[in-house]
């Protein structure tokens, strides 16, 4: 089973820490369905060099395809097909562009794999596998335990990543979600008992929930947090601004160990929100969102997108200024990127504004469309400047000074600087396969509530 990487992630010179954060959970989930007798291995190119010429010819090769790694994924698929392996492809990009993917695999999968994958395994064992399986029955009810034994834990800073739901209840125009879950439910959860059992299987204290919106189903979230209370866990997750403002829910998450939250603010230009159908953000007081999180001891990773139609060249300074002033600890900036299959892609393509279809460059750091309010070069330069400005020592200090206590200021400095100011240290740890050793450090910063 292969998770191919985009070129940057395998640079011989420098490997950004973000590619050594999380193990390939999707593949480990699919591996759970294989019979106990199967010999299986997972290869994550983000953290290990692939040796395709090692003389092995597997019976079955599984490749997970993201947009930015599609070219590499097809290369691996073609290689094994030529050797005679049966090659299957699935994941987000296959679902967006099945005709493209079908040229490189014996079987392709559209949508999540929990319903189609076990059916395929039976068909394949009987020699009657179909060329295409499309997911329609969405449920996590009979999910087997994830094969975490196939993950090389020491290669990741956050080996305990976990997802207890799929999808999201919202419908933002730029998001992968509606295209991926087309044809069935687009938001569903495990049972609370199954989610708690999966959490129990994870060693240590720290967890990172990769769910798109962990707070998306209030009843589920409340029961989950109640079940986690008293377990001494420390965890991070993602949720929307409206869920943060909802009375009572955040407090329950914090009591269960929440210490840092990824929040999709997306834009400080209000008209952009309507354009992107980001309705859950419309009319919300972003400053109140950050205040509420900080008052509860939760650090904020704010996510922002540049290049929406309402954005002019002033958007970068305004966004960065606001984020620093609000005391946001870490920020993730993106250049708006129309992923194939999304409503945004259809709109931009219909307006003839796509610059090219070179998927490898659809990495949210390069401009792939004609923006309305500035030139592509301005957008790209502004994006890089935003990162530089946000993570300057002076900015980190300014953000930290907004915290009322010395402990709060120290936590802000340690988290923000640790993330972006020590890249050479991360690079050395990754190369020495020692990255997991930094986890206690992350845990101690998170626990400085
Ligand atoms: C964790 C994560 C990362 C991690 C690690 C990825 C990993 N180890 O898998 C890191 C930080 C490295 C990362 C990096 C990037 N990411 Co990312 N990431 C995610 C995130 C938050 C969770 C992925 C996850 O674990 N999901 C849970 C598991 C269970 O689901 P899954 O992996 O999708 O697998 C299921 C199905 O897809 C399917 N399936 C998958 N493969 C196959 C194969 C077969 C044969 C079958 C049957 C089924 C199947 O079955 C699985 C079980 O249901 C997603 C958001 C999301 N909700 O998916 C974004 C997401 C995947 N990332 C995205 C992007 C854009 C990026 C970056 C380009 C961002 C950047 N600017 O750097 C980079 C580059 C990624 C690359 N290598 O090409 C986009 C992808 C868009 C697209 N159309 O491909 C997403 C959707 C975020 C978003 N909302 O836009 N990412
Ligand atoms: S809230 Fe986030 S995950 Fe949900 S549809 Fe919007 S962008 Fe996608």
130 phi/psi in degrees, rounded to 5: -90, 165
Which residue's CA is minimally distant from atom 12 of ligand 1?
19
Find out whether the beta carbon of 143 lies less than 6 Å from any atom of ligand 1.
Answer: no
Distance CA 283, CA 114 (A): 37
User: Hey, whose CA ends up nearest to atom 77 of ligand 1?
Assistant: 5
- CA-nearest residue for atom 8, ligand 2, is 175
| Beta-sheet pairing, 165-167 with 161-162 | unpaired
Among the CATH numbers 3.40.1160.10, 3.40.50.280, 3.40.50.300, 3.40.30.10, which is that of 2-134? 3.40.50.280
Distances (CA, A) of 60 to 40, 82, 87, 92, 425: 9, 13, 6, 20, 38
Q: Which two tokens stand for residue 153?
A: 């834990």
Helix (H) or strand (E) holding 262: strand 258-266
The Cα–Cα gap between 398 and 413 comes to 10
Find the 90 Cα to ligand 1 centroid distance in Å: 11
- How does DSSP assign 152-178, residue by residue? -GGG-S---EE-SEEE-S---TT-SHH
Regarding the domain delimited by 157-447, which CATH topology (the fold level of the hierarchy) does it fall under? Answer: pyruvate-formate lyase- activating enzyme (3.80.30)
Separation of 66 CA from ligand 1 center, angstroms?
Answer: 6
- pLDDT, residue 13, reads 64
Q: Write down the pLDDT at residue 90.
A: 98
CA dist., res. 271 & res. 311, Å (int): 9
How far, in Å, from the CA of 325 to the mean position of ligand 1?
Answer: 31
Nearest CA to ligand 1 atom 38: 112
Query: Is there a contact between 8 and 46 (Cβ–Cβ < 8 Å)?
Result: no
State which ligand 2 atom lies nearest to the alpha carbon of 178. Answer: 5
Domain ranges (residues) in the chain: 2-134, 157-447
State the pairing for strand pair 299-306/258-266. Answer: parallel
Please tell me if the CB atom of residue 260 comes closer than 6 angstroms to any atom of ligand 1.
no
31-71 pLDDT per residue, tens: 999 999 999 999 999 999 899 999 999 999 999 999 999 99
The residues, any chain, with a CB within 8 Å of residue 391's CB and separated by 6 or more, are: 416, 420, 421
Q: Alpha-carbon distance 33 to 36, whole Å?
A: 9
**Residue whose CA is closest, atom 61 of ligand 1?**
66
pLDDT digits (tens, 9 = 90+) for 165-209: 999 999 999 999 999 999 999 999 999 999 999 999 999 999 999
The per-residue pLDDT string of the chain (449 residues; one tens digit each, 9 = 90 and over) reads: 999 998 777 776 667 788 999 999 999 999 999 999 999 999 999 999 899 999 999 999 999 999 999 999 999 999 999 999 999 999 999 999 999 999 999 999 999 999 999 999 999 999 999 999 999 999 999 899 999 999 999 999 999 999 999 999 999 999 999 999 999 999 999 999 999 999 999 999 999 999 999 999 999 999 999 999 999 999 999 999 999 999 999 999 999 999 999 999 999 988 888 888 888 888 788 999 999 999 999 999 999 999 999 999 999 999 999 999 999 999 999 999 999 999 999 999 999 999 999 999 999 999 999 999 999 999 999 999 999 999 999 999 999 999 999 999 999 999 998 888 888 888 888 888 888 988 988 998 999 87
Cα 240 to averaged position of ligand 1 atoms, centre (Å): 19
Between CA 49 and CA 45 the distance in angstroms is: 6
- Name the closest ligand to CA 180: 1
Structure tokens at 176: 């992968």
């Amino acid at each position: 089973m292969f998770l191919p990487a985009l070129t940057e992630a395998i640079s011989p010179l420098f490997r950004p820490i973000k590619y050594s954060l999380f193990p390939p959970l999707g593949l480990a989930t699919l591996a759970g369905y294989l019979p106990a007798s199967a010999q299986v291995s997972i290869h994550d190119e983000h953290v290990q060099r692939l040796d395709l010429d090692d003389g092995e010819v597997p019976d079955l090769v599984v490749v997970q395809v993201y947009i930015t790694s599609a070219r590499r994924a097809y290369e691996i698929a073609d290689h094994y097909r030529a050797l005679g392996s049966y090659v299957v492809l699935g994941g987000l990009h296959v679902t967006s562009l099945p005709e493209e993917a079908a040229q490189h695999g014996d079987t392709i999968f559209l949508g999540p794999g929990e319903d189609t994958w076990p059916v395929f395994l039976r068909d394949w064992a009987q020699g009657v596998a179909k060329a295409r399986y499309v997911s329609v029955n969405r449920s996590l009810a009979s999910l087997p335990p994830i094969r975490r034994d196939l993950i090389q834990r020491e290669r990741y800073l956050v080996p305990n990543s976990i997802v207890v739901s799929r999808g999201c209840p919202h419908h933002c125009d730029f998001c992968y979600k509606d295209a991926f879950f087309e044809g069935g439910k687009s938001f569903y959860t495990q049972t609370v008992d199954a989610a708690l059992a999966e959490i129990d299987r994870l060693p240590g204290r720290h967890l990172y929930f990769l769910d798109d919106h962990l707070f998306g189903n209030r009843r589920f979230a409340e029961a989950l947090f109640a079940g986690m209370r008293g377990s001494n866990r420390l965890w991070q997750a993602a949720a929307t601004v409206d869920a943060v403002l909802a009375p009572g829910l955040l407090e329950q998450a914090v009591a269960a160990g929440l210490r840092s939250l990824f929040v999709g603010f997306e834009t400080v230009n209000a008209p952009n929100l309507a354009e992107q159908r980001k309705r859950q953000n419309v009319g919300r007081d972003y400053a109140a969102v950050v205040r509420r999180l900080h008052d509860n001891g939760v650090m904020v990773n704010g996510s922002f997108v540049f290049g929406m139609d309402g954005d002019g060249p002033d958007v970068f300074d305004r966004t960065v200024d606001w984020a620093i002033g609000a005391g946001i600890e870490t920020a993730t900036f993106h250049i708006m990127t129309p992923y194939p299959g999304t409503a945004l892609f259809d709109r931009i393509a219909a307006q003839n504004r796509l610059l090219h279809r070179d998927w490898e460059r659809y990495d949210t750091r390069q401009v792939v469309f004609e923006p309305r309010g500035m030139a592509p070069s301005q957008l790209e330069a502004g994006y890089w400047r935003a990162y530089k400005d946000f993570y300057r020592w002076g900015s980190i200090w300014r953000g930290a000074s907004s915290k009322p206590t010395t402990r709060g200021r120290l936590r802000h400095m340690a988290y923000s600087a640790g993330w972006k100011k020590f890249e050479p240290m991360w690079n050395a740890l990754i190369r020495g396969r020692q990255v997991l050793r930094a986890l206690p450090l992350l845990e101690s910063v998170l626990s400085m509530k």
